[in-house]
């Protein structure tokens, strides 16, 4: 027998609801056929092997998804959606809705990690087919709203039988996660992505097959959420946008099981950055608002500052310059209260240079929406903030430094300073030998088109040619 297609993934959501309804494969097949016959639909030929294929990831043809939904809705006494069952609806797309329960969280985390380990490394970007499959708008946001009110699943009172896990193993996972985080910050997510996925797969197995106390279990779920969040971030940085989104959602479910609102808010801000990168700033703002609301009693000063800074940037993208200024002020005020020793490891990246860079980019974007003195002011403030970020960056934060040089180049272009833009672009490209990041290359592509009005000048031509060579060489 041939190997199954790599794009098929087990439908754990359908399996979950079949189990909840006590529905065997044979019984579901019979009931789907019977319901179809009652509606005058003949020739379905649904049998146990068809159901087995659906569970393995095959997509049933119309009208079978509707019949499955009707059968399982009646059996569960719930109005299940197509997304609940991992089935295509009228649009032909599946959603990300998953029950906020422990078995579903384990299944979702295990499924996405295993499937990603099987995929070949492809040069996906936000302009390619993979990015088009990312969920946006209400399809993304509606299921996530439940996170704000979620609590650990108390229906599973006993941890599964297996090897006893203690706090020392949890601390080991946290140490490994911090190591992966450092590698990502230094060199980007492309090179380490496979390794972090393998580690996340191992931790998913521990959740499913090990024995642990309630206290250890809560810490284990939190550590799993943080590790999965890093895996999602590396997938995002590597240009695997759909995989990143799926992994972030699985990580959010794990955070809910840990009752860890802080790590949940961190995962949501990662998702917000992805939505902004893919051209959906409204969704990015909504994700930031969800993080602010859902973790409102648990936010540290650093997280409060970071979320406000992102709000400033996303408002600037939308042209809301006054709202952007207001959010920037809140970000600066909150940062004054930050005590680095009291912050958690996942917030270590958000230091003063990161705050300055985020707000500097917000001003660079805002400059494009205004003219005259307001434009000059935004350009000046952007230059000052990003320059300050660059001068204070830790030496190992190569990717951040590359983004800083890119930010300065784009600010210079907004001011018509082509020579300065060309020089900053050159410095960015010099860092890319140590950085493997599809996000950096995506931003280089934006710079290439922004420099088009200056293509008839020597520095403009040089800038565009350097960028073009780098982007093409990376594919």
Instruction: Kindly list the distances between the CA atom of residue 426 and the CA atoms of 11, 401, 420, 452, in Å, as whole numbers in the listed order.
Output: 47, 13, 10, 17
- Please report, to the nearest 10 degrees, the dihedral formed by the alpha carbons of residues 275, 120, 175, 255 taken in order: 40
What is the tens place of the pLDDT at every residue in 61-73? Answer: 878 888 998 899 8
Higher pLDDT pick, 385 / 446: 385
pLDDT-derived band at 88, boundaries 50, 70, 90: confident
pLDDT at 35: 84
Give the length of the chain: 475
**Mean pLDDT on 67-88:** 80
More confident residue, 304 or 16: 304
pLDDT tens for each residue of 37-58? 877 787 777 888 889 989 888 8
State CA 338 to chain mean position distance: 25
Helix H or strand E encompassing 243: helix 241-258
- DSSP secondary-structure letter at 53? H
Mean pLDDT confidence for 80-91 = 69
Helices (H), 46-166: 48-56, 64-76, 102-118, 129-132, 137-144
Which tokens belong to 468? 């073009």
Least confidently predicted of 142-146, 232-236, 385-389:
142-146
Among left, alpha and beta (phi > 0; psi -120 to 50; other), residue 40 is left
Sign of CA dihedral 195, 198, 202, 203: positive
Q: Which residues contact 63 (CB under 8 A, 6 or more apart)?
A: 36, 41
What pLDDT, in 10s, does the model give residues 349-383?
Answer: 999 999 999 999 999 999 999 999 999 999 999 99
pLDDT of the residue at 1: 31
Q: Is 164 helix (H, G, I), strand (E, B) or coil?
A: strand
Beta bridge partners of 164: 211
- C-alpha to C-alpha distance for 295 and 261, rounded to whole angstroms: 5
Return the residue matching tokens 């990143």.
244
What gap in Å lies between CA 172 and CA 62, rounded to an integer?
A: 48
User: What would the pLDDT profile of 415-473 be if each residue is shown by its tens digit?
Assistant: 999 999 999 999 999 998 888 888 998 999 889 989 999 999 999 999 999 998 887 77
Within a 10 A sphere around the Cβ of 349, how many other Cβ atoms? Answer: 16
Strand partners for 211: 164
**For residue 116, what pLDDT is reported?**
65
Residue 3 has phi, psi (to 5 degrees) of -70, 140
DSSP secondary structure string for all residues of 406-461: HHHHHHHHHTT-HHHHHHHHHHHHHHTTS---HHHHHHHHHHHHHTGGGTTSHHHH
State residue 271's pLDDT score: 98
pLDDT in tens, 226-269: 999 999 999 999 999 988 999 999 999 999 999 999 999 999 99
Computed over its alpha carbons, how large is the radius of gyration of the chain?
A: 24
Write down the pTM of the prediction: 0.75
Residue 91 has pLDDT above 60, yes or no: no
CA–CA distance, 424 with 411 (Å, rounded to integer): 10
Q: Tokens 């095959």 sit at which residue?
A: 58
Structure-token match 């949501």, residue found: 268
Task: Judge whether residue 338 has pLDDT over 90.
Answer: yes
Task: Pull the structure tokens for residue 86.
Answer: 């991992």
Q: What percent of the chain has pLDDT over 90?
A: 56
- Report the candidate in 214, 209, 182, 210 with the shortest Cα–Cα distance to residue 196: 182
Q: Which residue has the higher pLDDT, 86 or 414?
A: 414
Residues of the chain above pLDDT 70, percent: 89
Q: What angle do CA 389, 394, 398 make, to 5 degrees?
A: 85
The pair of three-digit structure tokens given for residue 155, joined into one six-digit string:
């229906």
- More confident: 214 or 37: 214
Q: Give Cα 468 distance to the centre of its chain.
A: 28
Helix (H), strand (E) at residue 120: none
Q: How confident is the model at residue 113 (pLDDT cuts 50, 70, 90)?
A: confident
Spatial distance between the Cα atoms of 288 and 331, rounded to a whole number of angstroms: 13
Structure tokens that stand for 134 in this block: 């990312």
Q: Read off the pLDDT band of 115 (50, 70, 90).
A: low
* Closest to 474 in 3D by CA, of 195, 124, 236: 124
Q: How far apart are CA 412 and CA 418, in angstroms?
A: 7
DSSP state of 84: G
CA 252 to CA 261: how far, in whole Å? 9
Cβ-Cβ contacts under 8 Å for 186 (sequence gap 6 or more): 396, 397, 398, 399, 434
Alpha carbon 104 to chain centroid distance?
19
How far apart are the C-alpha atoms of 324 and 106, rounded to whole Å?
39
Average pLDDT along the chain: 87
In which residue are the tokens 């493997």 written? 436
pLDDT at position 98? 65
171: CB partners within 8 A, 6+ apart: none
Segment (H or E) for 344: none
Q: Which residue has the higher pLDDT, 301 or 107?
A: 301
Can you say whether the dihedral through the CA atoms of 232, 227, 272, 474 is positive or negative? negative
Whether the Cβ atoms of residue 218 and residue 159 lie closer than 8 Å to each other = no
């Amino acid at each position: 027998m041939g190997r199954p297609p790599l794009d098929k993934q087990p439908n754990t959501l359908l399996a979950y609801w079949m189990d909840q309804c006590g529905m065997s494969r044979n019984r579901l097949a019979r009931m789907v056929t019977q319901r179809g016959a009652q509606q005058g639909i003949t020739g379905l030929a649904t049998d146990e092997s068809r159901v087995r294929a659906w569970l393995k990831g095959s997509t049933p043809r119309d009208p079978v998804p509707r019949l499955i939904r009707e059968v399982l809705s009646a059996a569960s006494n719930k109005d299940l959606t197509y997304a609940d069952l991992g089935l295509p609806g009228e649009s032909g797309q599946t959603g990300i809705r998953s029950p906020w329960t422990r078995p579903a969280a384990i299944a979702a985390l295990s499924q996405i990690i295993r499937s990603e380990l099987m995929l070949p490394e492809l040069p996906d970007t936000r302009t390619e087919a993979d990015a088009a499959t990312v969920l946006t708008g209400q399809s993304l946001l509606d299921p996530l709203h439940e996170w704000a009110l979620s609590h650990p699943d108390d229906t599973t009172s006993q941890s599964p039988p297996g090897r006893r896990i203690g706090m020392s193993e949890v601390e080991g996972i946290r140490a490994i996660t911090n190591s992966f985080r450092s590698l990502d910050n230094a060199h980007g997510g492309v090179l380490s992505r496979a390794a972090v996925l393998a580690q996340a797969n191992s931790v998913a197995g521990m959740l499913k097959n090990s024995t642990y106390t309630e206290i250890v279990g809560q810490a284990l779920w939190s550590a799993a959420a943080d590790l999965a969040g890093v895996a999602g971030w590396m997938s995002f940085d590597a240009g695997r946008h759909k995989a990143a989104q799926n992994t972030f959602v699985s990580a959010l479910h794990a955070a809910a099981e840990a009752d860890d609102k802080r790590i949940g808010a961190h995962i949501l801000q990662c998702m917000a950055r992805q939505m902004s990168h893919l051209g959906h700033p409204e969704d990015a703002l909504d994700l930031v608002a969800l993080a602010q609301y859902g973790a409102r009693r648990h936010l540290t000063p650093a997280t409060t500052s970071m979320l406000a800074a992102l709000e400033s940037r996303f408002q600037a993208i939308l042209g809301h310059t006054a709202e952007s200024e207001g959010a920037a002020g809140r970000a600066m005020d909150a940062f004054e209260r930050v005590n680095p020793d009291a912050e958690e490891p996942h917030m270590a990246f958000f230091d003063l240079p990161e705050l300055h860079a985020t707000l500097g980019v917000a001003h660079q974007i805002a400059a494009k929406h205004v003219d005259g003195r307001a434009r000059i002011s935004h350009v000046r403030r952007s230059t000052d903030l990003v320059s300050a970020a660059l001068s204070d960056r830790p030496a190992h934060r190569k990717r951040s430094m590359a983004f800083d040089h890119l930010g300065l180049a784009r600010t210079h272009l907004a001011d018509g300073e082509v020579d300065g833009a060309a020089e900053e672009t050159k410095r960015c490209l010099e860092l890319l030998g140590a950085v493997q990041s599809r996000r950096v290359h995506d931003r280089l592509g934006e710079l290439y088109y922004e420099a088009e009005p200056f293509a008839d000048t020597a520095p403009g031509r040089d800038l565009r040619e350097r960028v073009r060579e780098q982007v093409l060489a990376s594919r």
